Structure 1
Amino acid sequence: MRKMAPLLIVFLTLSMFAQSLTVMATTKDQLVETAKTYIGTPYHYGGTTPNGFDCSGYINYVFEQLDVNLPRTTSGLYQEGTSVSKSDLEVGDIVFFNTFGSGVSHAGIYIGDGEFIHASTSRGVTTDSLNSDYWSPRYLGAKRVTETEPEIEQASLETSRELEPGEYRDVKENHWAYDEVLNLSQDDVIHGTGDDEFGVNGDLTRAEVASLLVRANDLSAEGKNSSFIDVEGHWSAKEVAAAEQAGFLDHLTGERFKPEEKVTREEVAVMVANAFDLEANGQNGFTDVTQVHDAYDEITALKEHGIINGYDDGTFRPNHTITRAEFAIVLYKLMN
């Protein structure tokens, strides 16, 4: 047995090393996925939320989702971590630029293949190439913060703690929708996607919205039959039938419901206004939802009741999809 001990130690060491590599790879995938969730979010000087970001506010927000706390300013970020050469860049490294004057004035997150994601002053959150004609001559350097902040690995390893009712591993206490998700889950209105995950950044489907509105209104779905020919056998068939008969789906025409189609912010506004009998009394102020818009009244009603907000640039973006976390906030406001 003593002769086997060194082999056992080597095996355990290799196993732990392999697990560490897996954790790091998984965490970096999560970082990129989280960062890309906010593509299209407008630039807002001093912004630190999905309503609008500046470059360092965006980086802070993304890393906070993985429990990594960083300095608030770009110059502060430049003092963090370990310097890495451009040829050794890894996913998750923070890249820095001089866009005017001297010194660091802009930063983004490296996402691989020579690309980085950042909050651009002209286009909001977007991706660009480090080797582009604009960014290449302005590149200053990069810092690696994931190795000096063990929390980023600990966040992925934290699977042993028993969750409280209504908690999910991808909706931590510092998440902007934590309270809403927790309360709705505890009230059995919303559920996760499995494996203790809520699917916080996943887009909602038409079937999911219909089902959530039925639950929120405490409607019985038993014994209901839908006129839509494509919901028979679908998990949401009874809820869709209940939503249809309650008038939540009056905006739809034709014989197909398309239960797996991703819903837009516009359609959510229509379904919610129908479900909660919300009416408009004034104007919404959105530059991209004028009075000729088909869903003008419904969007205006939700704005007037404080259920939805637009973006800092004055738009509502009716054709954008809505995530599960965003709809949780809408639903919570409606029910409270």
Structure 2
Amino acid sequence: MKTKFKMITLSTVTALTLSFAGQSYAAITPFSDITNVEAKDKIIALQEQGLVHGISDDLFAPNATVTAAQGVQLIVKALNLNLDLVRFLVEPKATDYFKNADNDAWYANALITASVNGVVLPADLDPNKKWTREEFTHQLISTIETHSNLPQIKLVPAQINDNADLTIDYEGSIQRALAYNVVKLDEQGNFHPKAEISRAEAAVQIYNALEYIKAHPAPSPQPDPASETSSKRSPSSTSPQIPGTK
């Protein structure tokens, strides 16, 4: 969807750097409702980094379903997407991108940030719609691949027993999520793509995705042979003539 205003970017949005360094947060209250949750340690690790928050100071609500707005917020927060390098000529509104959004809602900035950073979401996105496992996984994988230089892998498609239930446009993302160990199939080899995703499941995917990215850092830029050759030339052949000097 085209925006209704012009903006000036100070740097290409796709060049935004992912930041995963933990930050210092004062007086973090441990979640009291994840004691028996299998993903407890991963949720705590994300909380300590300020990447996930609860529905209150001490409640995470691990079994609650993730809405589209919450899912976008999780992805934006985890990948440190922001508007720091963007200058708008006109203050943007969430409805400039998503007609069903509420400009005064808590999620408005997250939707704007996601859209400006190239997260592909439908223009008729319903922020309150509950997201499925395949929807969240697709958006997460698509976003990390856009914003990180992951190495190419030789993908051997996994056997997904309920593959027929997958949305065709999401199949590739789900297969890569499996290859990245972001998600796993259950004991019967099913992914359950149409099942609503819980907050705990979303947190696990976020944690696993960040671990994969940290384990596969972008390669260091290689020196340009042409530049090296140029630097070896004599000073007289390369030094520019400064006006007013001989």
Aligned partner of 2:109 in structure 1 is 238
Q: Any residues of structure 2 matched to 1:50-129 within 5 Å, and which?
A: none
CA 287–329 in structure 1, closer or farther in 2 if over 3 Å, else same: same
1:168 to 8, 20, 31: 31
Q: Alignment partner of 1:258: what SS? A: coil
| Whole-angstrom CA distance in 1 between matches of 2:59 and 2:40 | 13
Aligned partner of 1:259 in structure 2 is 127
Aligned partner of 1:156 in structure 2 is none
Shift of 1:225: 3.8
| Whole-angstrom CA distance in 1 between matches of 2:56 and 2:75 | 21
CA 310–166 in structure 1, closer or farther in 2 if over 3 Å, else same: farther
Aligned partner of 2:139 in structure 1 is 271
Aligned partner of 1:317 in structure 2 is 192
1:330 to 175, 192, 205: 205
| Whole-angstrom CA distance in 2 between matches of 1:322 and 1:210 | 13
Is the Cα contact below 8 Å between 2:76 and 2:113 reproduced in 1? yes
Displaced runs of 4 or more, over 4 A: 221-224
| Whole-angstrom CA distance in 1 between matches of 2:140 and 2:57 | 29
Shift of 1:234: 1.7
| Structure ID, larger Rg | 1
Q: Any residues of structure 2 matched to 1:186-197 within 5 Å, and which?
A: 186-194=48-56, 196-197=58-59
CA 166–274 in structure 1, closer or farther in 2 if over 3 Å, else same: farther
Name stretches of at least 5 consecutive residues in structure 2 with no aligned partner: 1-26, 85-90, 212-246
Query: What is the CA deviation profile of residues 30-72 of structure 1, one whole-angstrom value per residue up to 9, with x for unaligned ones?
Result: xxxxxxxxxxxxxxxxxxxxxxxxxxxxxxxxxxxxxxxxxxx
Aligned partner of 2:43 in structure 1 is 181
Name stretches of at least 5 consecutive residues in structure 1 with no aligned partner: 1-163
Q: Alignment partner of 2:41: what SS? A: helix
Is the Cα contact below 8 Å between 1:166 and 1:182 reproduced in 2? no
| Whole-angstrom CA distance in 1 between matches of 2:167 and 2:69 | 28
Amino acid of the structure 1 residue aligned with 2:31: Y
- Paired residues, what number? 169
| Whole-angstrom CA distance in 1 between matches of 2:83 and 2:199 | 22
Query: What is the CA deviation profile of residues 272-312 of structure 1, one whole-angstrom value per residue up to 9, with x for unaligned ones?
Result: 11111178723121022259823110000100100001111
TM value normalised by structure 1: 0.47
Q: Which has the higher contact order (CA 8 A, sep 6+)?
A: 2
| Whole-angstrom CA distance in 2 between matches of 1:193 and 1:246 | 26
Q: Alignment partner of 1:284: what SS? A: coil
Amino acid of the structure 1 residue aligned with 2:196: T
Aligned partner of 2:99 in structure 1 is 229
| Whole-angstrom CA distance in 1 between matches of 2:118 and 2:163 | 24
Is the Cα contact below 8 Å between 1:286 and 1:314 reproduced in 2? yes
CA 176–224 in structure 1, closer or farther in 2 if over 3 Å, else same: farther
Amino acid of the structure 2 residue aligned with 1:196: D
284-293 or 307-316: bigger deviation: 284-293
Aligned partner of 1:304 in structure 2 is 179
- Structure holding more strand per residue: 1
Query: What is the CA deviation profile of residues 141-193 of structure 1, one whole-angstrom value per residue up to 9, with x for unaligned ones?
Result: xxxxxxxxxxxxxxxxxxxxxxx725111012x53111111111111111110
2:76 to 202, 205, 214: 214
Q: Alignment partner of 1:294: what SS? A: helix
TM value normalised by structure 2: 0.63
| Whole-angstrom CA distance in 2 between matches of 1:195 and 1:214 | 21
CA RMSD of aligned residues (A): 2.2
| Whole-angstrom CA distance in 1 between matches of 2:83 and 2:192 | 32
Amino acid of the structure 2 residue aligned with 1:167: P
| Whole-angstrom CA distance in 1 between matches of 2:93 and 2:177 | 29
Aligned partner of 1:287 in structure 2 is 161
Query: What is the CA deviation profile of residues 173-225 of structure 1, one whole-angstrom value per residue up to 9, with x for unaligned ones?
Result: x5311111111111111111015211111000110110111111111157654
